[in-house]
Structure 1
Amino acid sequence: MPILVLSFPAINPVLVQWGPLAIRWYALAYIAGLVLGWWVIRRVAAEDRYWNGVKRPTPDSIDDLLVYCAFGVIIGGRLGDVLFYDPEYYLAHPLDIFKVWEGGMAFHGGLIGCFFGMMLFARRYRTPLLTVMDLCSLVAPIGLFFGRIANFIRPELWGRPTDVPWAVVFPGTDGLPRHPSQIYEALLEGLLAFVVLYVLARWGALKRPGLIAGVFGVLYGAARIFSEFFREPDPRLEDLGRGLTMGMVLSAPMIAIGLGLIAMSLGRRGS
């Protein structure tokens, strides 16, 4: 038995409501991630010491990058949840695809959508795609951190039953104490990944296009696979059997792609 079981904090998922209009923590998490990411990218793009002559977007163009990525994350995240996790349900209830306020955003789908947004931005502003990927990868952990905190507040994506002292009893479950896996992911995929990437950027990683993006792919993929051992998979949508989950399967290619980007960036002659 656990030494201590924490009751789930009574946090209303709706921050403010005026009649039918509601502002939810879930939506604010996306807004906070995008706005803070935009602010960090503008600052980094404006400082020559990060780049050593590498071509990068102008600070003013970052405003448009925010728009491209925002649409990519929202559209891709929603379609990813629909296609990766529950296509049969949404095929039978197609109008529910548009009910984004009820949750259901897949990170891997959002990543694919964001990638298309970055491609369009790089083409329009004639900026190297790898550099755009590096900038977005640098700040992606900010959005992940706030998103996982929103998952905890909702609450959703809770952990497996456990007897650790910090176990939480989530409402809507069977009453068993469980891992607060959302917090694990916020700390690993969000806080830790951002600190590592920002330190690398300060050490000159942005001078080698593709390096930050590659390290992000490895960090996120490894953190997500590790966290899946503590997260309760939906037996119908996420549990693939033999200890595998859909999150693990979708994250493994990120590690492979990330290692490829790292090898390519370090293999180039450069600064």
Structure 2
Amino acid sequence: MSAVIRRYELTDDEWALMEPWLPRPPRGRPRLDDRRVLNGIVWKIRAGAAWRDVPARYGPWQSVYTRFRRWALDGTFTRMLAAVQADRQAKADIDWLVAVDSTLVRAHQHAAGAKRGPEQGNEPADHALGRSRGGLTTKLHLACDGRGRPLAFVLTGGQRNDCTQFENVMNRIRVARNGPGRPRTRPDRVVADKGYSSRKIRAWLRRRGIRHTIPERIDQLNGRIRRGERPCGFDPAAYRRRNVVERCFNRLKHYRGIATRYDKTATSFNAVVTLAATLLWLRPTL
């Protein structure tokens, strides 16, 4: 008989998909069960609590944090998300109308204080923290599929403009195919708001043969009229589906550890978002 599954914890089916991508435990003395630790990490992210407040049923909080940090640094969570996306691709369960947008995440005072210096590995010099109108914030730039599930994302300081990260986000979309062949990187269509209306972005999409639905800003439209150029093509029916990315942000921010950033380093916060994104693929609803 399977164990009782408490709130926020992984189901047997979810665990079966995630377990193969966890590192093999080193030989030596017995350690905390990986499923127990991963449940503690999910509980912490979902509840937005401090590591010291992780319930004792998940083991010593120091062990839960150490395992989380180790998996964040070695790419375990990234491989896990890629595996779940590949599984959905094999089942033809990805809608390749891709919506792109960004959202601000307010940083808690506990997120500040990490030493700033040169970029080290995957850790940016500013730890993806910046000053914006909302104070100390992180900006989450994200691309999701037509059903509101994350395909790729980038973290920057909150002051960064949306359009500056468009190519970076799109270049991170890599969904492995079932069997031989290159990963799929090109969507059927990209949908974005006026913040992404620029000649550079439209040219980048055209070079790759990607259809797009991005409304023009009024100043750009007036400029085209003055130059006697025709307006860009626009599909109102496709644009109505842009709200899937807003729904994706809404679901991600059900995790209190994402609605407010508590992590000092970008590496840790990236792991938090990656794990939550994996669970969004596994859980149709929260």
**TM-score under structure 2 normalisation?**
0.30
**TM-score under structure 1 normalisation?**
0.31
Larger Rg: 2
Greater helix proportion: 1
